Structure 1
Amino acid sequence: MTTELKTRTIMDKTAPNRSTGIVNGESSNVLNWDDVRFSWAFPKYKKMLANFWTPFEINMGKDIQQFPTLSADEQETFKKIIGLLALLDSIQTDYAAKMADYITDSSINALMVILAQQEVVHNHSYSYVLSSLVPKKVQDEVFEYWKTEPKLIARNEFVTKGYQEFSENPSIENMLKSIIFDVILEGLFFYSGFAFFYNLARNRKMVGTSTMINYINRDEQLHVGLFEKIFKEVLNENPQYDTPELKEYAIETFRKAAELEIEWGEEIIGSKITGLTMREVSDYIKFMANNRCNQMGFGKRAVFPDGPTTNPLRWIKAYEDVDLGKTDFFEQKPRQYTKTNDSNGFDDL
């Protein structure tokens, strides 16, 4: 069973402005936010706009002073994670653009454009951090890590192959599978790296970088929420694809992804980083894999039935849930514009 996807037309004066489907639908491609198919699209649009930020906001002065004082292991892990994040967000920018080509609803297409722009900002952030801390030669080396690190290669090929299937054969089935890989990339593969930076921050180290990571973390949560919506709407409009085989595929893919993330955690954290144990990180990854799979509609604890039922890194919530609309948790300075969070309308992920 496979249904090819048709690309969105630039303009169709014979079609209604309000789309007839999220994929393979008809739409003039004229966007009127007061006449859209999906009621959740405009609230999501407002939340994504409210998350707007740029790397220039982050003062790296203290980080510049602190970086040379980090242990050799901390410095190496810091650089490897930045190198990984740069690769993943580069892939995301391209994937979002390819996905948008087949979204026949103009409001959802607009959200994909904003998402792609945010991924570009994330990539700029990694360059911004590295250019502040290390010489250009080292920065260039960090951006080449993904080509030579065996565990990075395995992780990256795992995701890119999932994306490539959709890119080369754009069908509804491959789109759905690619969204599973997207949720893995944005909602699981970043998370041992996030834990490392937040652990530095709780020890008052590299606070500028950790603040930036917090902004990126918030964007990625919104992105996961958006792709969850798209996934469920595609299935709602094409219920013949909502099969036991898709569920089994999703669970096995999340399990493999978690195993790869744990292997990467062993590489960058292991027993080298003060304040983080690999047991905690491993349990955290399993916890997140179960949560993300459940978020996609495949059941609680489906990936790891014996996995933890509560977050093993409880302290991390203080960093993930900080109210950036009122105060910057790390620097304790008021912000000048609103950042979304749970209390002012953030999606319940």
Structure 2
Amino acid sequence: MTANQLKPRSIMDGNAPNRSTGIVNGKSSNVLNWDDVRYSWAYPKYKTMLSNFWTPFEINMGNDIKQFQQLSEAEQNAFLKIIGLLALLDSIQSDYAGKVADYLTDSSLNALMIMLAQQEVIHNHSYSYVLSSLVSQQQQKEVFDYWRTEPTLRKRNDFVTNGYQAFAEEPSVEHFAQSIVYDVILEGLFFYSGFAFIYNLARNQKMVSTSTMINYINRDEQIHVGLFEKIYKELLHEHPEINSAAHHDFTVAAFREGAELEIAWGREIIGDQFDGITMDELTQYIQYMANKRCNQLGHGRNVFPDAPVKNPLRWIVAYQEVDQGKTDFFEQKSRQYTKTSDDNGFDDL
């Protein structure tokens, strides 16, 4: 095995310390003691993910059931295709998190990956929960198969799955770092035109229950991006040989291609056919997010040099931010939220 290849984590190593010696290819007994872990940020992340636990059953879909029938045909089609897309992306994430967990030497980070995968399963359940409330079982099956027949959707999904494939087939430090770039594109960029559409419906007091559920998912995805940002930076710090100009160029190019694919999807699914959100605004928003995510990984904001430096969809922040003691949209239900902070991933979205 070369120094760049990844070694699977041992189930138990009696000759290794409990506290890991590295993020990958290190030594660890695999015994988890939260008071003796290598990375100080791991336990706060664990507490945040634990406190944010939720299930789809908490959301009453009664009003959405009535409102869905009142949506225009274009709104219904966009809504269903977006739900189908989100279901596919979160299915991919569950599997990816499991593969990452296999190679993280540190037992605390392995635990976080298991929690992340469980949250993705809940996200997928939520899409089934929404669809089963609104459409027939046959139509639900059709929605979950949109990715097979929509060329634009298939192209953007292949972009990520092909990016993950190199890590799955040839696990190395370099492929792991590249796969995290694809992960951040998926969780921190590919969801965002769909989220914007759902939030814009809620802005017009339509499908508010679904928007509440998307808000929970959005919050989780923000935390996931923050977690992978930490792992990525630790990986590059402990393996500086992969932190090269070539890797920087790869990262910037990947974010540019990912954003262009998301813009193409937004143009197809949203365009300029809905009040409250224009394609020009959505394009600027996606470019802004691409710069933001690339910079979050330490590679600067040069994916789109002419993109806005501030969020061009300022109204969307009200739908993505939650705070302690707030009620859900339009007083739908009371819920005690975890206070938002840098630790749980919310920022100037």
Structure 1-normalised TM-score?
Answer: 0.97
Q: CA RMSD in A?
A: 1.3
The secondary structure found in structure 2 opposite 1:334 is: coil
How far apart are the structure 2 equivalents of 1:100 and 1:135? Answer: 37
- Deviation track 1:54-94 (CA, whole Å, cap 9, x = no partner) reads 00000000000000100000000000000000000000000
- Matched residues in 2 for 1:68 and 1:125: separation? 20
Deviation at 1:273, TM superposition (A): 1.5
Contact 1:322-1:329 at 8 Å conserved across structures: no
Matches within 5 A, 1:166-315: 166-299=167-300, 301-315=301-315
Q: Which residue of 2 aligns with 1:52?
A: 53
Q: CA deviation at 1:340?
A: 4.2
Divergent runs of 4+, >6 A:
none
The residue type paired with residue 327 of structure 1 is: T
CA distance in 2, matches of 1:277, 1:189: 18
Percent of paired sites with the same residue: 67
Task: Output the CA distance in 2 between the equivalents of 1:2 and 1:37.
Answer: 21
User: Alpha-carbon deviation of 1:46?
Assistant: 0.4
What letter corresponds to residue 327 of structure 2 in structure 1?
Answer: T
- Partners in 1 of 2:303 and 2:287 — Cα distance? 8
- For residue 340 of structure 2, what is the amino acid of its counterpart? N
Asked if structure 1 preserves the Cα contact closer than 8 Å seen for 2:208 and 2:329, the reply is no
* Partners of 1:321 and 1:342 within 8 A in 2: no
Residues 8, 104 of structure 1: 8 Å contact kept: yes
Give the 5 Å matches for 1:1-349. 3-299=4-300, 301-323=301-323, 325-335=325-335, 337-342=336-341, 345-347=343-345, 349=347
One-letter amino acid of the structure 1 residue matched with residue 310 of structure 2: T
State the Cα distance separating 1:324 from its structure 2 match: 5.7
List runs of 5+ in structure 2 lacking aligned partners: none
- SS where residue 26 of structure 1 aligns? coil
Opposite residue 264 of structure 1, the aligned amino acid is W
**Cα offsets for 1:10-36 (capped at 9, x unmatched):** 000100000000100100000000000
| 1:182-241 CA-partner distances (Å, limit 9, x unpaired) | 000000000000000000011000000000000000000000000000000011111111
- Structure 1, 274-283 or 180-189: larger mean CA deviation: 274-283
CA offsets per residue over residues 222-271 of structure 1, 9 Å max, x none? 00000000000011111111111111000000000000000000110012
CA separation in 2, counterparts of 1:103 and 1:109? 6
**Equivalenced residues, count:** 346
Change (3 A) 1:7 1:164: same
2:332 & 2:81 partners in 1: Cα distance? Answer: 28
CA 1:88 to 1:38, structure 2 compared with 1: closer, same or farther past 3 Å?
same
Mapped to 2, the partners of 1:325 and 1:175 lie a distance apart of 39
Paired AA for residue 85 in structure 1? L
Check conservation: 2:291, 2:302, Cα contact below 8 A: yes
Q: Secondary structure at the match of 1:69?
A: coil
Task: Report if aligned partners of 1:211, 1:330 keep a CA contact under 8 Å in 2.
Answer: no
Distance 1:118 1:325, change over 3 A: farther
Partner SS, residue 342 of structure 1: coil
Contact 2:28–2:106 (Cα < 8 Å) also in 1: yes
Gaps of 5+ in 1: none
User: SS where residue 76 of structure 1 aligns?
Assistant: helix
Amino acid at match of 1:341: T
Shift of 1:347: 3.5
1:322 partner letter: V
C-alpha contact (below 8 Å) 2:340/2:346 kept by paired residues: no
Distance 1:107 1:124 in 2: 26
1:332 positional shift: 4.8
